[in-house]
Copies of this chain bind each other. A is one copy, B any other.
Amino acid sequence: MTAEDNSISNNGRVVALCGGVGGAKLAFGLARILGDRLTVVVNTGDDFEHLGLHVSPDLDTVLYTLSGLANRELGWGRGDESWNFMSVLRDLGAETWFQLGDRDLALHVERTRQLRAGVPLTQIIGAFANSFGIRAEILPMSDDAVRTTVVTPEGALPFQRYFVERRCAPMVRQINFEGAGKAQPTAQVLAALRDPDLQAIILCPSNPFLSIDPILAVPGLRGVLEAARAPVVAVSPIIGGKAVKGPTDKIMAELGVAATNGAIAEHYRGLLAGLVIDATDAAERDTVGGPTHVTKTLMKSDEDREELARETLGFAARLAAMAGPKRMVSS
């Protein structure tokens, strides 16, 4: 640990916004350093009802990643998984395009039962995180339903149909967050973002369009981020013009945006105090229109995750210590 990030790692709260895989990896690194001083606000726009069960893909990926249970090869689900439920479901001729592991299923069944009994999702996830031994606070972005819909030439597709069943093949014309207008931010998310000891807000390297935007679409949240005294720092999901995983670059192209770090900064305009980019893209440093930290953003090992978290926290601490405007301007 270097001296410059001591200020963050020893006191104060950090809030990270994230979606699934890539974002969860950084959240893991942050949790290693911050423990219970980390709050992770997670996208629920991918949530859907499947086989009568409420599935929360990003929340579960964060739970599995932070508890060390995640399947590192697949990028979703648990490592210690069995598939006997699916195999019988197939025998029955039921829908099998969405894989549900036997252990994973317990979360869906118990979450669905509690939701039907009126327990808020925030409380359910808090109890799950606790039973998984996770010290960080894991919060759904809202207890109200926000459903990401991808508008394609074939029509509007619910997110999981687009993402899993169609494997992101259809061209994206527009992305909608159904229900976002009526969703309420939870008291827990607002409390974390308004914590007087808040040191940094991290936008994890998740897909900005599909994972971070739904969170920012919850009424009031963008305003709270804009008003926060703590610096908002994004880690770019783009390395060398490509997304590490997932369809970020494909979607950017389809939406007519170049898959560059500058475009990521532009996308978050008005929010960011700084952007973390990969060393591969060091040459783009001066094109992003504001403070940029260059480091290794590809996370292959737990140590990579922790190192990127430490670099990001150190960058945020330096930005917080800087005088002057706290938001990047458009390049």
A interface list, Cβ under 8 A from B = 51-53, 81-82, 84-89, 91-94, 101-107, 109-110, 112-113, 116, 127-128, 131-132
**Residues A51 and B110 in contact in the complex (CB < 8 Å), given A82-B82, A92-B131, A105-B105:** yes
Listed by A's residue number, 15 A-B pairs whose Cβ atoms lie within 8 Å are A84-B102, A84-B103, A85-B102, A85-B105, A85-B106, A91-B106, A91-B132, A92-B106, A92-B107, A92-B110, A92-B127, A92-B131, A93-B127, A94-B113, A102-B102
Closest B residue by C-beta to A84: B102
Per the bound structure, the CA–CA distance linking A128 and B94 in Å amounts to 10
Measured CA separation A307–B76 after assembly (Å) = 52
A106: which B residues are within 8 A, CB to CB? 85-86, 88-89, 91-92, 94
Contact of A109 among B52, B81, B116 (CB under 8 A): B52
Q: How far is the CB of A109 from chain B (nearest CB, A)?
A: 5
Question: Which of A51, A84, A105 has the most B CB atoms < 10 Å from its CB?
Answer: A84
Question: Given the complex, which residues of B lie within 8 Å of A107, measured CB to CB?
Answer: 88, 92
Q: How far is the CB of A70 from chain B (nearest CB, A)?
A: 14
Complex alpha-carbon distance, A109 and B85, angstroms: 10
Question: What's the least CB distance linking A97 to chain B, in Å?
Answer: 14
Q: Which of B84, B91, B102, B116 contacts A131 (CB 8 A)?
A: B91
